[in-house]
């Protein structure tokens, strides 16, 4: 449930309500809006039976949150969440592009990729150091060496780093290097890992699982937020369907739906959704039109030589052309691009 405090509530009154809820066994989360302070109370509502919470000073009303996801709910926080990291704001009126290779393959490949995407206007660099692959015989990533190369690329280009953490054992290592921790689609419901990233003071990019419903996706975000980390970015990357011509089916309907249900920022990964580079620019434009806060796309200097996902990676020329189109389209949509 949420406790809505009146606009004239004092700090002492807010603290008194919070302390009362905590004594009754509730976990309390404050959300300070422009006009109201909302106190989110997570716990057993039956404990409130017969207790006059609404009679406390400056309590305007008590509202139950009907969705199973509480902290991620738009009811809990009406305003859009804006995540600030490294001088960037994700979730505002700026449309961000995260770009780079699927995997860190070598120093030359990564630095070349970073320069390409920076010069074209990307604000963040993606690249896998630890790579979850369907086949155990496929390239698994450079691991810590890959993380060091990502840090070098950040130092040279100024791009923030988004990279995947695969398990709790390597979380601390990845967190030393990454600006944003990515939870991949395979790990969306790895609840032990979600609880662990909740304890790390880094934004988390949470990819939707290929068979996950929107509610399951938001409940995964709830695991992270209930652990104390409210800096969650949702990423739609395609779901499984009967269609076999594309890698997955990009569910762009999820963007406005999630924006209505939740205050969290949403980005779209058309590369993994489509699996074919020629359709990525069109779906990036569609993501912008749907109201997404950004896209994450794969770019490789030589896609034909990529160690993984070359077929869905844009060439430098194709990426530059896509960025020009997105800038023109962003202006029409009233959005900004760096």
Instruction: Give the pLDDT score at 239.
Output: 96
Q: pLDDT tens, 29-39?
A: 887 777 778 88
Sign of the Cα torsion 200, 164, 110, 297 reads negative
CATH (residue range 2-63): 3.30.70.1140
Contact (CB, 8 A) for 114 and 156 = yes
**Alpha-helical regions (H) of the chain:** 11-23, 107-120, 144-157, 168-177, 191-197, 214-226, 254-261, 270-274, 280-290, 316-332
Instruction: Give the pLDDT score at 141.
Output: 73
Of 261, 179, 267, which is closest to residue 222 (Cα–Cα)? 261
Distance (Å, whole) CA 319 – CA 330: 16
- Contacts with 176 (C-beta within 8 Å, 6 or more apart), sequence order: 147
Contact (CB, 8 A) for 294 and 126 = no
- Contacts with 214 (C-beta within 8 Å, 6 or more apart), sequence order: 254, 257, 258, 261
Locate the domains of the chain by residue range.
2-63, 83-332
Q: Tell me what the pLDDT averaged over the chain comes to.
A: 92
pLDDT grade, residue 338 (50/70/90)? confident
Q: pLDDT tens, 264-300?
A: 999 999 999 999 999 999 999 999 999 999 999 999 9
- Contacts with 255 (C-beta within 8 Å, 6 or more apart), sequence order: 236, 266, 268, 287, 290, 291, 292
Share of the chain above pLDDT 90, in %: 75
Burial of 126 (0-12, 13-18, 19+ CB in 10 A): buried
Q: Judge whether residue 61 has pLDDT over 90.
A: no
pLDDT grade, residue 136 (50/70/90)? confident
* Residue 23 C-alpha from the chain's centroid: 33
Instruction: Give the pLDDT score at 325.
Output: 97
Task: Tell me the pTM.
Answer: 0.90
Instruction: Give the pLDDT score at 39.
Output: 87
Q: Judge whether residue 98 has pLDDT over 80.
A: yes
Of 260, 331, 317, 319, which is closest to residue 289 (Cα–Cα)? 331
Bridge partner residues of 125 (DSSP): 99, 161
* Integer angstrom CA distances of residue 338 from 71, 84, 88: 30, 15, 10
CATH architecture of 83-332: Alpha-Beta Barrel (3.20)
Report the range of poorest mean pLDDT among 60-74, 107-121, 154-168, 318-332: 60-74
Instruction: Give the pLDDT score at 51.
Output: 60
Contact (CB, 8 A) for 173 and 150 = no
* Residue 165 C-alpha from the chain's centroid: 13
Q: Judge whether residue 157 has pLDDT over 60.
A: yes
Q: Judge whether residue 49 has pLDDT over 70.
A: no
* Region for residue 287 given its phi and psi (left: phi exceeds 0; alpha: psi -120 to 50; beta: otherwise): alpha
* Integer angstrom CA distances of residue 53 from 2, 41, 157: 11, 12, 53
Q: pLDDT tens, 201-247?
A: 999 999 999 999 999 999 999 999 999 999 999 999 999 999 999 99
């Amino acid at each position: 449930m949420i406790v809505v405090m009146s606009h004239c509530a004092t700090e002492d009154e807010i603290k008194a309500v919070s302390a009362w809820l905590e004594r009754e066994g509730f976990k309390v989360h404050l959300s300070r809006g422009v006009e109201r302070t909302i106190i989110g109370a997570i716990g057993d509502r039956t404990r409130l039976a017969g207790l006059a919470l609404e009679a406390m000073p400056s309590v305007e009303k008590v509202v139950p949150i009907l969705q199973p996801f509480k902290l991620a709910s738009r009811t809990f926080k009406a305003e859009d969440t804006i995540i600030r990291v490294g001088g960037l704001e994700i979730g505002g009126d700026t449309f961000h592009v995260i770009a780079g290779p699927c995997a860190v393959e070598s120093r030359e490949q990564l630095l070349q990729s970073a320069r390409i995407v920076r010069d074209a206007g990307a604000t963040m660099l993606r690249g896998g150091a630890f790579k979850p692959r369907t086949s155990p015989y496929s390239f698994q990533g450079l691991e810590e060496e890959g993380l060091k190369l990502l840090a070098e690329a950040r130092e040279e280009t100024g791009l923030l780093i988004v990279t995947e953490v695969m398990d709790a054992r390597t979380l601390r290592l990845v967190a030393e290097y990454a600006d944003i921790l990515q939870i991949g689609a395979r790990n969306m419901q790895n609840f032990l890992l979600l609880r662990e990233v909740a304890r790390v003071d880094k934004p988390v990019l949470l990819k939707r699982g290929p068979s996950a419903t929107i509610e399951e996706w938001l409940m995964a975000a709830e695991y992270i937020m209930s652990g104390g980390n409210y800096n969650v970015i949702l990423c739609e990357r395609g779901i499984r369907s009967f269609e076999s011509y594309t890698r997955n089916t990009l569910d762009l309907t999820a963007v406005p739906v999630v924006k209505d249900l939740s205050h969290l920022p949403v980005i779209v990964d058309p590369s993994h959704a489509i699996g074919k580079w020629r359709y990525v620019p069109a779906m990036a434009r569609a993501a912008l039109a749907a109201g997404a806060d950004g896209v994450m796309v794969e770019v490789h200097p030589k896609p034909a030589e990529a160690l993984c996902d070359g077929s869905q990676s844009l060439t430098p020329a194709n990426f530059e052309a896509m960025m020009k189109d997105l800038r023109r389209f962003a202006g029409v949509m009233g959005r900004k691009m760096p």
